[in-house]
Amino acid sequence: MSYAAAPAPNGTDRTNAPSHVAIIMDGNGRWAAARGLPRTEGHRRGVEALRRVVRAAGELGVRTLTIFSFSSENWSRPASEIGDLFGLLRRFIRNDLATLHRDGVRVRVIGERDGLAPDICGLLGEAEELTRGNTKMTLVVAFNYGSRQEIANAAQRLAQEVADGKRDPASITPDTIGRYLDAPDIPDPDLIIRTSGEQRLSNFLMWQAAYSELVFVPIHWPDFDGAALEGAIAEYNRRERRFGGLATKTAAS
């Protein structure tokens, strides 16, 4: 198994890949239910899809891939399912970290560490530490992540600086808030993909998604693969990003 970037598949122009793709990996439970399998089997197959997609993203020239692995709202699921999801994260890091590192993938983690088991915090820290110098691709793992909490944390830190007399409230701009989020050095996602047909953000990267293109695909996450990623990128390339300006044709005329 390798995550290394191989030559792009025929017909794919590497330069057309968005720099930062973020994925809401949804539909593991429905994938399993459709096959009469327990939800946990859907999650297990979801990890296999993740391996495929990390490799495919590298091959397509994606520089940053962010994956939504566990949301702050997923604590409302049964304890047994939460245990399964945490077990899969443990196994993913233990089994795949060496390969990710060998293939030049830098791992970053966003979300709350408070409330996570010490061994999970240790593994996440180890993954970040080992891979911090890698430059082929960045894999941002959103674990125990919620956008509202992330923004609230930024507000708390800024409020503390004001309370301590270190900051003028008027100095707080959108850029300032961006610098106080969990991964201030990572550019905003160009493309956000959600699998399994739901059309919502579910508290994922709400600040960073201001001008992301959103692509919703009907495929359940365990069935997602490199071809599906290419399809979503092709849809992205058909969009025109205007950032509040005028359409290119209009502007040129």
Question: Going residue by residue from 68 to 87, which x/- string records binding to ligand IPE, judged by CB under 6 A?
Answer: xxxx--x----------x--
**26 lies in the binding site for ligand IPE (CB under 6 A):** yes
Q: Which of 13, 48, 119, 198 binds ligand IPE (CB under 6 A)?
A: 198
Which residue's Cβ lies closest to Mg ion? 26
3-state helix, strand, coil in the chain (%, to 5): 50, 15, 40
**25 lies in the binding site for ligand IPE (CB under 6 A):** yes
Q: Which of 17, 26, 50, 142 binds Mg ion (CB under 5 A)?
A: 26
- Contact 224/49 with Cβ under 8 angstroms? yes
In 10 A of CB 130, how many CB atoms?
A: 15
Q: Work out how close the CB of 38 gets to Mg ion at its nearest, in angstroms, rounded to a whole number.
A: 15
Residue 48 tokens read as 């296999």
Residue 18 interacts with which of ligand IPE, Mg ion, none, CB < 5 to 8 Å by class: none
Which CB sits closer to ligand IPE, 30 or 101? 30
Out of 16, 74, 134, 153, pick the active-site residue.
74
Helical ranges in 139-225 per DSSP H: 147-163, 174-179
Please indicate whether residue 26 is annotated as part of the active site.
yes
**Of all helices (H) and strands (E), which one includes residue 133?**
none
Q: Which residues are CB-neighbours of 63 under 8 A, at least 6 positions away?
A: 19, 20, 137, 138
Question: Contacts with ligand IPE in 83-142 (CB under 6 A)?
Answer: 85
Q: Which residues are CB-neighbours of 135 under 8 A, at least 6 positions away?
A: 104, 106
Which residues face 90 on adjacent strands? none
Stretch that binds Mg ion, among 23-31, 51-59, 82-90, 161-169 (CB under 5 A): 23-31
Task: Give the binding-site size for ligand IPE (rule: CB under 6 A).
Answer: 18
- HEC string for 17-86: CCCEEEEECCCHHHHHHCCCCCHHHHHHHHHHHHHHHHHHHHHHCCCEEEEEEEEHHHHHCCHHHHHHHH
Q: Measured between alpha carbons, how far is 23 from 84 in angstroms, rounded to an integer?
A: 21
Q: Work out how close the CB of 26 gets to Mg ion at its nearest, in angstroms, rounded to a whole number.
A: 4
Stretch that binds Mg ion, among 10-18, 25-33, 138-146, 242-250 (CB under 5 A): 25-33
Provide the 8-state DSSP code for 171: G
Please indicate whether residue 223 is annotated as part of the active site.
no
Out of 26, 96, 103, 190, pick the active-site residue.
26
Task: Give the binding-site size for Mg ion (rule: CB under 5 A).
Answer: 1
Q: Work out how close the CB of 202 gets to Mg ion at its nearest, in angstroms, rounded to a whole number.
A: 8
**217 lies in the binding site for Mg ion (CB under 5 A):** no
Q: Which residues are CB-neighbours of 109 under 8 A, at least 6 positions away?
A: 124, 127, 128, 140, 141, 142, 143
Contact residues for ligand IPE, defined by CB under 6 A: 24-30, 68-71, 74, 85, 196, 198, 200, 202, 221
Footprint on this chain of Mg ion (rule: CB under 5 A): 26
Catalogue the active-site residues: 26, 74
